[in-house]
């Protein structure tokens, strides 16, 4: 299996805009080095502050609430991401980016239309209204050379779609309240074949239950994420698992992982903070992947790139079971309690509570489910907020028993 080279000419709209040559030369100088310390970076940031202001343009004041929330998140974590990226660069250069794992391109029948409207200068808001995509999805469809246009979804000429279904394991509370890990182990012991994709936070309990994932993913930049990997049972199984990591994960996460690892650049859309994703890509040359704000959704996007046609998700609540869970997670944050809204899952007949963060994740994930056709996604979380006409719902035991119809 060979990877696909990414060239700047492949990128339609992720371009560095309104930047003078001197400032762009400064960024190019940084990316040519094998690595640079975070102290050096912030020294340069202080010395060349105007260059970064010019390159990382501030978004418009009339952004929507979701765009404002995205911007606030990026602005909060950007120094940490750049620090992590700078320290990870030597390791990234020794390993490979996730494009080396891809067997084919994925299909979005409307890519040609979206790109044509962008080339004609159509405002992205108008494209969003026409197709129902979020602005971030429009960016990814237009800019990513792995998303292609076709009237029908074609199979990989060399490998074809994987015959096994992909099972994505999130970290939602339903995973444990429904004992889905034990249910999966029983099915595998009885001969059920699948490829398991797991978020790092669930890796330890998955291994303890007897589930050995094929892939894990990590995208969070905080050092606390390393705590989920610092266990003997994980070190004992690391040689059997491939880790998919954002270039901006904390260096301690990279140090702790003893198995194979492949890196990606997490996507930040141009509406949230222009040029940032492009610059981070230029520093590492790792594939830009949309995480939709959470690692479970990032795994779904990665599974799509691997050309799986049948995807099952468990532990993908993207919500709280009740207000008590939310208040326990956000103690002494009454503003968070007040913004939470009560929702209802019509298939499983269960209520849930969703705050602005989870609502953001849900909208981004559903936008991808809508835009990328030919991928049958079945949510077996047995509750939660991820429900719409773009995703099927089913009890996990029924899925494992084959009670689904292949599209």
pLDDT in tens, 226-281: 999 999 999 999 999 999 999 999 999 999 999 999 999 888 766 566 567 777 77
If you average pLDDT over residues 140-169, what whole number do you get? 66
Output phi, psi for 110, to 5 deg. Answer: -95, 5
CA distance 293 to 389: 21
User: Encoding tokens for residue 298?
Assistant: 């990032």
pLDDT tops 50 at residue 308:
yes
Query: Which of 239, 230, 233 lies closest to 258, judged by CA?
Result: 239
pLDDT band at 339 (very low <50, low <70, confident <90, very high): confident
User: pLDDT value at position 207?
Assistant: 98
Position 57 scores a pLDDT of 44
Beta carbons of 3 and 96 less than 8 angstroms apart: yes
Q: What pLDDT score does 29 carry?
A: 62
pLDDT in tens, 87-135: 898 899 888 888 777 655 666 777 788 888 887 878 877 887 887 776 6
């Amino acid at each position: 299996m060979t990877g696909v080279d990414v060239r700047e000419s492949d990128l339609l709209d992720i371009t560095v805009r309104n930047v003078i040559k001197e400032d762009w030369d400064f960024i190019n100088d940084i990316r040519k080095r094998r690595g640079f310390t975070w102290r050096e970076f912030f020294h340069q940031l202080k010395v060349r502050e105007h260059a970064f202001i010019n390159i990382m343009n501030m978004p418009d004041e009339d952004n929507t609430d979701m765009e404002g929330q995205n911007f606030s998140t990026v602005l909060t974590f950007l120094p940490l991401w750049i620090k992590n990226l700078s320290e990870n660069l030597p390791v990234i250069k020794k390993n490979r980016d996730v494009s080396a794992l891809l067997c084919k391109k994925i299909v979005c029948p409307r890519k040609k239309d979206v790109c044509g409207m962008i080339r004609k200068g159509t405002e992205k808001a108008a494209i969003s209204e026409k197709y129902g995509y979020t602005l971030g999805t429009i960016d990814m469809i237009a800019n990513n050379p792995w998303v292609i246009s076709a009237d029908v979804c074609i199979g990989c000429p060399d490998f074809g779609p994987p015959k096994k279904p992909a099972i994505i394991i999130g970290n939602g509370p339903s995973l444990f309240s429904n004992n889905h890990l034990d249910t999966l182990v029983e099915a595998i012991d009885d001969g059920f074949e699948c490829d398991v994709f797991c978020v790092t936070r669930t890796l330890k309990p998955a291994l303890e239950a007897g589930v050995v994932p094929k892939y894990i993913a990590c995208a969070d930049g905080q050092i606390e994420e390393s705590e989920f990997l610092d266990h003997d049972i994980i070190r004992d199984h690391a040689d059997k698992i491939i880790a998919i990591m954002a270039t901006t994960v904390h260096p301690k996460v990279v140090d702790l992982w003893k198995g194979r690892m492949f890196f990606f650049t997490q996507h930040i859309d141009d509406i949230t903070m222009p040029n940032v994703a492009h610059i981070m890509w230029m520093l590492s040359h790792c594939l830009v992947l949309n995480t939709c704000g959470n690692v479970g959704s990032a795994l779904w996007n990665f599974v799509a790139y691997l050309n799986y046609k049948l995807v099952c998700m468990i532990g993908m609540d993207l919500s709280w079971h009740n207000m008590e869970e939310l208040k326990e997670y956000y103690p002494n944050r009454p503003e968070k309690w007040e913004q939470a809204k009560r929702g209802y899952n019509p298939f499983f007949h269960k209520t849930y509570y969703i705050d602005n963060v989870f609502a953001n994740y849900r909208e981004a994930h559903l936008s991808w489910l809508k835009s990328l056709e030919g991928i049958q996604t079945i949510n077996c979380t047995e509750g939660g907020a991820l429900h719409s006409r773009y995703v099927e719902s089913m009890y996990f035991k029924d899925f494992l028993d084959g009670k689904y119809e292949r599209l």
